[in-house]
């Protein structure tokens, strides 16, 4: 688990990151070169379907390789790592809530949440307690023994969220995590994503939901593979304290 205070956590940045896909004889540019230092807090990634949001998240995660440019986390060039090193690096610094939940089908909800701790060599008892606490936070304490196929889509998504949070990652990536959820559960999930953002983690969230986007500290708007950084929101009270002369 991350023991560092928020200010010392590794930050993620991109340096001219782009992605093109071959399409017949031509190339489709899913993401134009994008340079950005992600600040701590909640960044919402918004834009129409097919605009390049998931492409960006997959590059930030190191699941996909950029056509050009670099993704850096702290001092580490993510794509310069070997496959196994990158997997270890991810485990240490990232949490994911992606649309294909990737729960392990033969493990119970509890075991799925414990899994990152198992890989990190955390003792069984600590693991169990931490996973139980996370399952309770997502409202699934009664589903701990269920296998993924015994869960609804929304429940599986919440198990994936509990697993993403179990090691208190510095960087949390979520691709429409409130998509399958009723509004009450969606609110609970949002609370669980905003809490780490308040604690100085970098939370990057793709969403179609305006209410969710309105909660974000920062917004990236993606259109036809171009990412625009929207102006930081400035509270009126802090504006009024700026001297006019
Ligand atoms: N593996 C792939 N091969 C070819 N084209 C792809 C691939 N993945 C995404 N694309 C294309 O890249 C564009 C952006 O896709 P995506 O990032 O999934 O959009 P979004 O998440 O905003 O809906 C789309 O035109 C999509 O068809
Ligand atoms: Mg997508």
208 CA from centroid of ligand 2 (Å): 10
6 within 8 A of 40, measured Cβ to Cβ: yes
HSE, side-chain direction, 13 A CA sphere, residue 136 = 6
**Ligand 1 interacting residues, C-beta cut-off 6 A:** 21, 28, 30, 47, 49-55
In the prediction, which pLDDT does 201 show? 95
More confidently predicted of 176 and 20: 20
Evaluate if residue 179 carries a pLDDT over 80: no
Going by C-alpha positions, the residue among 60, 76, 71, 73 that lies closest to residue 16 is 71
pLDDT tier at 189, thresholds 50, 70, 90: confident
Evaluate if residue 74 carries a pLDDT over 70: yes
Alpha helices in the chain (DSSP H): 53-61, 83-93, 109-119, 124-137, 153-165, 183-198, 210-214, 236-240
Burial pattern 5-29, b for ≥16 Cβ within 10 A else e, equals ebeebbebbbbebbbbeeeeeeeeb
Evaluate if residue 47 carries a pLDDT over 80: yes
In the prediction, which pLDDT does 208 show? 87
- Ligand 1 pocket: which of 45, 49, 50, 207 to mutate (most atoms within 8 A of CB): 50
30 CA from centroid of ligand 1 (Å): 6
98 CA from centroid of ligand 1 (Å): 15
Q: Which one of the ligands is nearest to 98 CA?
A: 2
173 CA from centroid of ligand 2 (Å): 13
Q: Which atom of ligand 1 is nearest to the CA of 52?
A: 17
Listed in sequence order, the residues at least 6 apart from 44 whose beta carbon sits closer than 8 Å to its beta carbon are 205, 206, 207, 212, 213, 215, 216, 218, 219, 220
242 CA from centroid of ligand 2 (Å): 40
Tokens 């493990």 found at: 107
Evaluate if residue 233 carries a pLDDT over 80: no
Evaluate if residue 68 carries a pLDDT over 60: yes
pLDDT tier at 238, thresholds 50, 70, 90: very low
Evaluate if residue 76 carries a pLDDT over 50: yes
Q: Which atom of ligand 1 is nearest to the CA of 56?
A: 17
Burial category of 190 from C-beta neighbours within 10 Å (exposed 0-12, middle 13-18, buried 19 and up): buried
Q: Which one of the ligands is nearest to 32 CA?
A: 1
- Ligand 1 pocket: which of 21, 31, 53, 208 to mutate (most atoms within 8 A of CB): 21
More confidently predicted of 212 and 116: 116
pLDDT tier at 6, thresholds 50, 70, 90: low
**Picking from 22-26, 27-31, 65-69, which range would have the lowest pLDDT averaged per residue?**
22-26
185 within 8 A of 193, measured Cβ to Cβ: no
In the prediction, which pLDDT does 101 show? 67
- The hierarchical CATH code for the domain 9-101+165-231 is 3.40.50.300
In the prediction, which pLDDT does 244 show? 43
pLDDT tier at 98, thresholds 50, 70, 90: confident
Q: Which one of the ligands is nearest to 174 CA?
A: 2
- Mean local confidence (pLDDT), 168-197: 86
CA distance 93 to 101: 19
pLDDT tier at 211, thresholds 50, 70, 90: confident
**Picking from 5-14, 56-65, 89-98, 118-127, which range would have the lowest pLDDT averaged per residue?**
5-14
């Amino acid at each position: 688990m991350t023991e560092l205070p928020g200010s010392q956590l590794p930050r993620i940045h991109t340096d001219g990151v782009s992605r093109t896909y071959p399409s017949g004889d031509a190339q489709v540019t899913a993401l134009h070169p994008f340079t950005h230092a992600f600040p701590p807090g909640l960044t919402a990634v918004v834009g129409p379907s097919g605009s390049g949001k998931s492409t960006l998240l997959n590059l930030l995660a190191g699941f996909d390789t950029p056509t050009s440019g670099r993704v850096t986390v702290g001092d580490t060039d993510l794509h310069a790592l070997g496959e196994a090193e990158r997997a270890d690096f991810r485990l240490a610094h990232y949490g994911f809530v992606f649309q294909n939940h990737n729960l392990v089908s033969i493990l119970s909800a509890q075991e799925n949440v414990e899994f990152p701790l198992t890989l990190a060599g955390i003792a069984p008892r600590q693991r169990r307690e931490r996973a139980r606490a996370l399952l309770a936070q997502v409202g699934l304490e009664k589903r701990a023994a269920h296998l993924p196929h015994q869960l609804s889509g929304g429940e599986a998504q919440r198990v994936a969220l509990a697993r993403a949070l179990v090691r208190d990652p510095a960087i949390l990536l979520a691709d429409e995590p409130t998509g399958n959820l009723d509004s009450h559960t969606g609110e609970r999930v949002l609370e669980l994503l905003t809490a780490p953002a308040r604690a100085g983690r970098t939370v990057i969230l793709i969403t179609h939901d305006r209410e969710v986007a309105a909660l974000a500290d920062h917004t990236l708007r993606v259109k036809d593979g171009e990412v625009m950084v929207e102006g930081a929101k400035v509270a009126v009270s802090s504006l009024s304290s700026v001297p006019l002369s």
